[in-house]
Amino acid sequence: MNHTQLQLNKFCLGGLKTFMASAFLYLSSLTIDTNYAFALETCQPPASDEYLLVIITETSAAQDIVRRSLPPDIIIEVCRYIDQTVSSIRGFDDQDVASDWARYIQDIVGLSAYVVKPSEQTTPSDTPLPAPPEIGFNPQPLGTGFAVLVDYNNQPEIALQLERSLGRNVGLVAYGQKPFLLVTYTKNRRAATNSLLNLSDL
């Protein structure tokens, strides 16, 4: 190999190294998740004609639970609210519907949720949202009686379907270290049997 070929090989090798480094930098820039490159923005208050559902989701695991528990077409915004990371859902024009979703998130999913009402006057965008209500988890034993339970297999949508079919809310209970939906609790055996029969007809 002569001196010219050696210089040409060094030049090609140097160009190849430069190309590979550039390609690596370009490809790595494509895979960087920009969600973590910026601090979370402060949540915007609800518009004058909407209610805002706010779910406390301090961890990415809690945010994933919210995403899996809600229909895929719902837009969920992760933002900061009173020094907490929350998942907010906008666009509720009915307070009862928003409250039902908050109750579902609390009772079935197991996360703290609440509804933020629109203010009577226009709120500047830098004004913080009102403080969340204190919500505590205080399980109580049912006592003596009869309970009709439904094993929902950790699928929150079953609770929603059941509530729609029954036309009322259902509770959440634990039996043998496993969560169940509480359809009926009564001291009357006949009422419990009727509830079970009605449930089997759904």
**Is 123 found in the same domain as 77?**
yes
Number of H helices, E strands in the chain: 5, 7
What is the DSSP secondary structure assignment for residue 106, as one 8-state letter?
Answer: I
> Alpha-carbon distance 158 to 11, whole Å?
66
Does the reported pTM lie above 0.85? no
Inter-residue contact 46 to 90 (CB < 8 Å): yes
Q: What pLDDT digit, counting tens, does each position of 10-65 carry?
A: 444 445 444 444 444 444 444 444 444 446 788 888 888 889 899 999 888 889 88
**Is 125 found in the same domain as 166?**
no
pLDDT at 78: 93
Structural domain boundaries, residue 18: 3-32
**Is 126 found in the same domain as 72?**
yes
> What's the structural domain count of the chain?
3
**Is 165 found in the same domain as 106?**
no
**Is 186 found in the same domain as 131?**
no
> Alpha-carbon distance 166 to 108, whole Å?
16
Domain of 63: which CATH number? 3.30.70
Inter-residue contact 123 to 112 (CB < 8 Å): no
Q: What pLDDT digit, counting tens, does each position of 133-177 carry?
A: 555 555 677 788 888 888 888 777 788 888 888 888 878 787 777
Per this entry, what is the length of the chain? 202
Last residue of some domain: 91, 115, 137?
A: 137
